[in-house]
Amino acid sequence: MSDEKGAADAAPRFFPLSVQRHGSLRIARERGYGFARSLNAVPLVLPELAAVVATYPAVFMPGDAPLLAAVLGVDEKQNLFVDEFGQWAPGAYIPAAVRQQPFSLARSGNGGEFVVAIDEGHQLLSETEGDPIFEGTALSKRTEEIVALCREMQAAVAATEEFVRAVRAAGLLDAKAAPFLRPDGTHGFVQGLSMIDAARLRELPEATIIEWHRRGWLGASYLHLASERRWPSLFERAGLRSAPADGR
């Protein structure tokens, strides 16, 4: 295994999970989150939105991909919810995209069915310590639990992408930069964010509002708007993280 910092910074190396290739691998029993220390945002799906917005701002990501994401930090490669010991902040919801690691689902060749893949360089993996990924030729109980989470989240991806596309098509998004004050008195901005404009949401045609309510999109839109209240606590957390240990 590589050291924690190197593993956290390394690009994922996903391969289809197989007992022939990965039968000797084990996953850390005491799960740490040092690998997520440099993630300043993670994708999320609609079923976890209510849990996410209790702690994090939820934003629409720029670019062509229809992504909804939870913001974890205000600077590049900064996760304010993982401490120096690799522990996630107590009481804070841990997004599924983090909990499902080191596994993921990937399409087989030529856009076929989804198969379970594993990040072979992940810091949670070892050949000597932790719980086995396989028991004989079958997945272990722990692996099955994580793979079940992967499948649950993947099942929600299509619905999430459809929601994001609908929001974009309705012209509801505004690009924003969230300002914050650093402990040294300088100003910073969290760039590249898109958020729903509340006034435009209220002005949607009645038929659209009824349809969005039926599909759960209206509730999701207002949950997203409510998450704006999490910016001050995120900036406060950033200030505490960068302040000197003696408070000076």
Give the SS3 label for residue 149.
Answer: helix
Query: Which pLDDT does position 5 carry in this prediction?
Result: 47
Question: Average pLDDT per run of 10 along the chain, which is 248 residues long?
Answer: 48 88 93 93 96 95 88 90 95 96 84 87 94 96 95 93 96 77 61 88 97 97 94 85 55
pTM comes to 0.85
Query: Which pLDDT does position 188 carry in this prediction?
Result: 61
Sequence ranges of the domains in the chain:
4-242
For the stretch 94-123, pLDDT in tens is 999 999 999 999 877 666 788 999 999 999
For the stretch 53-103, pLDDT in tens is 999 999 998 888 889 999 999 888 899 999 999 999 999 999 999 999 999
Alpha carbon 104 to chain centroid distance?
13
Nearest-angstrom CA–CA distance, 33 and 97: 12
Query: Which pLDDT does position 238 carry in this prediction?
Result: 84
